[in-house]
Structures are given as structure tokens and as C-alpha cells.
Amino acid sequence: MVSTHDSRSDGPRGTATGRSGLKIRDVEAFPVWVGHRNQLLVKITADDGTYGWGEGGLSGRELAVVGAVAHYKELLVGEDPFRIAHIWQKLYRSQYFEGGRVLTAAQSAIDIALHDLKGKALGVPVYELLGGRVRDKVPSLATTNAITTEIAIEQAQAFVADGFDVVRFGRVNPLMKGEDEAAFEPRQSLAETARCMIRAREVLGTAVTIGIDYHHRLSVAECISFCQRMPRGTMDFLEEPIRDESPEAYETLRKMVDVPFAIGEEFSSKWQALPFVERGLTQYMRLDVCNIGGFTESLKVAGWCEAHYIDLFPHNPLGPVCTAASIHFAAVVPNFAWLEYNRSQFRPASPIENELFPTAPNLEGTFFPLTDAPGIGIEVDEKVLRSDKFKHWNPPMLHRLDGSHTNW
């Protein structure tokens, strides 16, 4: 590592005025290929060598976030890294055009890195900086990755045999059985996916919580048709059936669909989350700490959700830094359901990712344990990081059979 400073050996820093005596020396952004996609890591280093890691979540547009981090670096160097809330406000209000997914992805990575740095400097886990843990371990769920009903049911049965009592299914796409793997027809998918969910309930029984992630691929009418094709009680949650630009569209769905919604992975601010909380449009908040503004903003949204009896079900599709940050967030919020985690025997981490992160969170059974490691508890092999290159990558560009584009 660049820094050899042992942040636990010097005892707590700081004064009665709350100043750390440290100054930010450098801010670095690393868009790095991890075998199947890129990750955007940010490292913030203080003048004594103490450092922290963060991650931005705007997948497929990492270079845009790198540009935002470069702008913010000019405002960060020389700042006291302990003044995290002050820095958040300074960055957010440093331009006329506040917010937006690119800027808040950059702020998320910076905010997480500052918390990691502060935890290391004080020798405490980040969850202690956030108020202390309310639970001793963080529950997770399992997610199938099959595109056929038969294989999805087999995977779900294997997860339940491993001890998972919550299984999330992906949408079934019959067209992917053919040669064109980028083709997607919503009506064909929803018919087969409804059959899959009915079969899953029959096979897994009533004790297992089951839901589906439709990844914004339906319209309002298609979502209603999907839900009407299944007996009541088939699904325990429906995740992101349509895009989130219009809370009014979700109000229409809420009146016509009785399945709990899980919404929020696209949110890039507390203001974007607000109408979904206040209007009762979601029952599970899917915020992403790497997109919504880091710990600083996630805790604000979590408080609103608690007041409205909405549980947290964080979006966590990235790498170990995102997972570690999400675990620390989950440790301190009382209204928590499950943490998404896509690693399994059906979707293992890539060899590059394993090399890049010599320490990374791992499930123990169906839970993530909480450790007393300082910061978020992640280390990065910088030799690997600095030798790996960014590769241009786009999410699948789905199209319908008539040639028009549709959502991924």
C-alpha cells in the first residue's frame, strides 16, 4: 500500500473543537476493469498518510464520475477530512446545477472514503461513527440468475437448502433462448415470469419470502397485467417494475397492485426519495449508498423511512467497497430488511476482483458478520489496481422484436 501508517497505534485524534489536525493531501479516482464490468474506486489520503476508500455507483458511465471527482479534488485538498458533513454541503453547493447522478455518485464515493479515513484515524469501525450498531450481524438474501423457469427454481431450491429464507428472482426472458440475447419483449417475459413465480411458491412453500426484480422493464399496464396473472400471496415484493422518473405513475400502480414495492436503486438524492416515502409508494427502500450521497444522505433517508414504517433493502450490485459500506449502514439502522448480495455458487467473484481486494466481506451462512476493523474494513491491492486498465463497457442494449430500444 502507498501508506504504511498504522492508524490504530497513535490513539484517538481530535480536539475539543472537533478539528482533526489533518488535511486532505490527495484525491484519486480509479476506474478499473474487474473482469465483467468496471468499478469506480476513490482514494482520499491525508497529509499523515492515513487514507480511505470509497466507491461510486454509476455503472457504465465511470469516466463521467472521474471527471466530477477531478473537479471536486480542487475543493477537497487542504480540507479537514473529519468535517464530513461540512464537506458534503460544500461539494453539493459548489455549482449552480446541484445534484444529478454523476455528481452524487462522485460525492457518494468521497463521502464513503472520508468515513473510512476517519474510522482508520480514530481506530474505530465506521458504524461507531454513525451512532453504533443496533444489530450484531446483517441479514442477506439470495438472488437467482437464470433466464429459464426450470433453472431458476433449481437455484432457488439450492439457496433454501443453504439456509436462505428470502429468495429474489430475476425476470425470465424466453427470447434469450434464441440467437439474439439482446431481444426483450415485455409481454412474453411477464407471461413466463408469472408462471415461474407461481411455480416457485408451490415448490418453496409459504415460509420462504420470494420476490422479483423486474429492473424497470415494464410499463404501468404491463406491470398490472403481470400481477393479475398470479394468485394473491404469490409474491412478497416486486422490485423496480417501472422506471422511477414519475412518482405519479407509481401512484397509479399502488392503487391497482397489492404487492409490496421495493423501489429506490436509481435515486441520486434524498429529494428524489422523498415523494416515494411520503406518499407510501414503496414498502422497501432500495437506496444505494454509492449513488444517493454516501452515508451522510443514506442516514437521512433511513430516518424518514423509519417514521413511515418502510424497511431498508439497499441496492448493492458493485464491489467489496460498496458491500462493506452497505454493511456498516445496515448495522446502524433499525428499519432494515436485507442486504442484496449477488455472489453465490452461481455467480462467483472474478479472479481479478479477488486479487484486487485481499480483504472483503464474506457471508457466514446467510449473514454478514460485523467486525471491529477500523474504517469500513476493506483493503485494496494498489499494485493490482494501478496495473489494471479501464475498459469501455455498456450494459446490455435491449431491443424489442420491432427494432425499438427498451430498458435494461
Nearest to 140 by CA among 401, 330, 10, 390: 330
Q: Is residue 343 over pLDDT 80?
A: no
CA distance 299 to 281: 19
Quote the pLDDT of residue 16: 39
Q: Which of 10-14, 22-26, 60-64, 266-270 has the lowest average pLDDT? A: 10-14
CA dist 272 and 295 (Å) reads: 16
- pLDDT for 178 equals 54
Please, which residues bridge with residue 169 across strands?
A: 212
Buried b (16+ CB within 10 A) or exposed e, 155-177: bbebbbeeebbbbbbbbbbbbee
Q: What value, to the nearest 5°, has the Cα angle with vertex 229 and ends 227 and 231?
A: 85
CATH architecture entry for 137-373:
Alpha-Beta Barrel (3.20)
What is the chain's alpha carbon radius of gyration, rounded to the nearest angstrom?
Answer: 21
Give domain limits for the chain: 137-373
**Of 261, 264, 328, 313, residue with least CA distance to 292:** 264
With a cut of 80, say whether residue 346 has pLDDT above it: no
pLDDT recorded at residue 333: 98
Q: What is the pLDDT of residue 25?
A: 98
pLDDT band per the 50, 70, 90 thresholds, residue 2? very low
pLDDT digits (tens, 9 = 90+) for 364-392: 999 999 999 999 999 999 999 988 788 99
Indicate the length of the chain as a whole number. Answer: 408
pLDDT > 90? residue 344: no
Helix axes 84-92, 62-76, angle to 10 degrees: 110
Q: In the chain, what is the greatest distance between 2 CA atoms, to the nearest angstrom?
A: 67
pLDDT score recorded for residue 46: 98
Residue-wise pLDDT for 61-89, tens only, equals 999 999 999 999 999 999 999 999 999 99
Q: State how far the Cα of 284 lies from the Cα of 264, in Å rounded to an integer.
A: 8
- CA 73 to chain centroid, in Å, comes to 24
Q: Whole-model pTM?
A: 0.93
- pLDDT at position 345 over 80: no
Work out the average pLDDT over 286-302: 98
- 15 pLDDT band (50/70/90 cuts)? very low
Write down the pLDDT at residue 249: 96
Axis-axis angle for helices 149-161, 186-204 (nearest 10): 30
Q: What is the pLDDT of residues 79-122, one digit of tens each?
A: 999 999 999 999 999 988 888 999 999 999 999 999 999 999 99
CA angle 163, 127, 102 (to 5 degrees): 90
pLDDT higher at 308 or 14:
308
Tens digit of each residue's pLDDT (9 = 90 or more) over 145-154? 888 899 999 9
Mean per-residue pLDDT over the chain, rounded: 92
